[in-house]
Amino acid sequence: MKHNLSVAELYEESIKKNLAILSNDGTLVVDTRPYTGRSPKDKFIVYEKETKDDVWWGEVNQPFDESDFNKLLEEVKNYLNTKDIYVEDLFVGADEKYRLKLRVITESPWHALFAKNMFIRPNKNDILNFNPDIVIYHAPFFKAKPEIHKTKSEVFIILHLSKRIILIGGTLYAGEIKKSVFTFLNYYYPKAKNILSMHCGANIGKNQDTALFFGLSGTGKTSLSTDPERPLIGDDEHGWSDEGIFNFEGGCYAKVIKISKEKEPGIYKASTRFGTILENVILNEDRSVNFDSDEKTENTRSSYPIDFLENVKLDGKGYHPKNIFFLSADAFGILPPIAKLTKEQALFYFLSGYTAKLAGTERGIKEPTATFSACFGAPFLVLKPIEYAKMLLEKIEKYNPNIWLVNTGWFGGPYGIGSRIDIVLTRKMINWAINDGNAEFYEFPIFGLLVPKKIQDIPDWIFYPQNSWKNKEDYIQSAKKLANMFMENIKKFDIDSKILKAGPKL
């Protein structure tokens, strides 16, 4: 058993075991095929008496028999006992008042480094007499047999909430470690601490004005929260307590397909240095990284400690937010690039969680597909979405932030016809919302959103997507179709009439 090895030692172990190679920048390059994204159909929660009445059972949270879990856990432990084992003791939760201790036990040295990158590293005194609150048993080379282990495939991600054990096997994709911990926190923090857990990035300005960025993978959450003018609190997972915002993690897991030094300098620099793990990228002959290649997957990833970025709030904490952004990559090309929401609209669009699943983030997704993901993070929720929405409403009413819907998707037509909105323009609009937010607004047709008529230094035409289509009748019909999808989806939730009326009007 190799306990809390240094970064250099984990590099050496990974290369020695032929699990990774070095790029010419000093990054550790790994290949996770055939699984280059999450496997949501292979994720389960143990059905047991202490938590069964709290869980939002269904497609997201599939029940797993407790006796079958115990048998599989024992088998995985026995398997790991025959291997070189790497153990990392870490923290989750930047606020010391709410911090949890995490132990990751894995047969793969680069996954140990991934955990070291993604979570909060303790100092030497912190790990004396370390007694973990959560334990992950990670066996990526152990393949389940569904007929024996009662899984759906060779892959399994199983959470036992009351025992605080996470069991992962059959897949090398490192994101399963990160997101299974987040799933547990989406149960623990709301239930045990009355803290709203959120799938969002966060940054903070000179006036201590925190901004939150909600969105699924690929919507620009990491890119937009990583702003050279505003220190980053975290890029993906946060809690909102009575004291303010705090990061759950200590690192970033950025999607790096087609990133460039010019458009995303911070992420690019962090992704080209020693200590960073690059998943499924292609190397050129000179071992330089070809970030433009999607030969293995669109979902190429970079894992690095948050302090690899130059402009970071290292304590991982911020004040109550002044602005909240809901990011939707609209594959239909209907929604405006930015719109201001009322309190009721905020709840409607939070529960809707509309976006497009982008290629590679999940197995089987080959091109953007319109989807609704409650709270902008349905795959990671444990409680019913309405529980998180009620907590968000309490926060909105108490702290009165501005709330914005931002389309980071398509313009001038749907995917395949229109163009993706340039992230440079999106950044300018978000900076305007944070620093000013004042404009003359018009009511966006069908959806009833308040859209600015113009913003300085941004072309006026972008605020009128209904005029950007070649055939306006096609736009109207597509807008009505999308509006119907919103209204059909919202029927799944038990909401009051005020929130229902905040949706599109047909």
Domains for the chain: give ranges and CATH numbers.
2-193 (3.40.449.10), 196-249+315-501 (3.90.228.20), 252-308 (2.170.8.10)
> Which two tokens mark 469?
């289509």
Q: Catalytic pick from 111, 116, 138, 221?
A: 221
Tell me what pLDDT residue 190 has: 98
CA distances from 501 to 73, 338, 340, 343, 347 (A): 48, 20, 16, 12, 11
Q: Catalytic pick from 14, 23, 27, 38?
A: 38
To the query of whether residue 236 is one of the catalytic residues in this protein, the response is yes
Tell me what pLDDT residue 6 has: 97
Helix (H, G, I), strand (E, B) or coil at 308: helix
Contact 269, 254 (CB under 8 A): no
Smallest Cα–Cα separation from 115: which of 279, 251, 272?
Answer: 251
Spell 153-179 as b/e; 16+ CB within 10 A means b: ebbbbbbbbebbbbbbbbbbbbbbbbb
What percentage of the chain reaches a pLDDT higher than 70?
Answer: 98
Q: Catalytic pick from 183, 197, 217, 271?
A: 217
> Does residue 361 surpass a pLDDT of 70?
no
Tell me: the pLDDT tens digits for 124-167? 888 888 999 999 999 999 999 999 999 999 999 999 999 999 99
Q: Catalytic pick from 179, 230, 238, 395?
A: 179
Tell me what the pLDDT averaged over the chain comes to: 94
Q: Cα–Cα distance between 16 and 25 in angstroms, integer?
A: 19
CA distances from 134 to 156, 212, 454 (A): 18, 27, 50
To the query of whether residue 320 is one of the catalytic residues in this protein, the response is no
Q: Catalytic pick from 43, 111, 199, 255?
A: 199
Contact 323, 433 (CB under 8 A): yes
What percentage of the chain reaches a pLDDT higher than 90?
Answer: 89
Tell me: the pLDDT tens digits for 457-468? 999 999 999 999
To the query of whether residue 221 is one of the catalytic residues in this protein, the response is yes
Q: Cα–Cα distance between 291 and 271 in angstroms, integer?
A: 10
- Give, as one character, the DSSP assignment of residue 362: B
Tell me: the pLDDT tens digits for 197-251? 999 999 999 999 999 999 987 788 988 998 889 999 999 999 999 999 999 999 9
Q: Is 497 exposed, middle or buried (0-12, 13-18, 19+ CB in 10 A)?
A: exposed
- What is the DSSP pairing of strand 282-283 with strand 289-290? antiparallel
Residue 357's pLDDT band (boundaries 50, 70, 90)? low
Helix (H, G, I), strand (E, B) or coil at 111: helix
Q: Catalytic pick from 236, 241, 255, 303?
A: 236
- The overall pTM is greater than 0.75: yes
To the query of whether residue 261 is one of the catalytic residues in this protein, the response is no
Contact 157, 44 (CB under 8 A): yes
To the query of whether residue 179 is one of the catalytic residues in this protein, the response is yes
- pLDDT (average), residues 20-28: 98
Q: Catalytic pick from 222, 225, 241, 373?
A: 222
> Which two tokens mark 113?
């480094």
Smallest Cα–Cα separation from 43: which of 297, 381, 385, 388?
Answer: 381
To the query of whether residue 217 is one of the catalytic residues in this protein, the response is yes
Tell me what pLDDT residue 49 has: 96
> Does residue 360 surpass a pLDDT of 60?
no
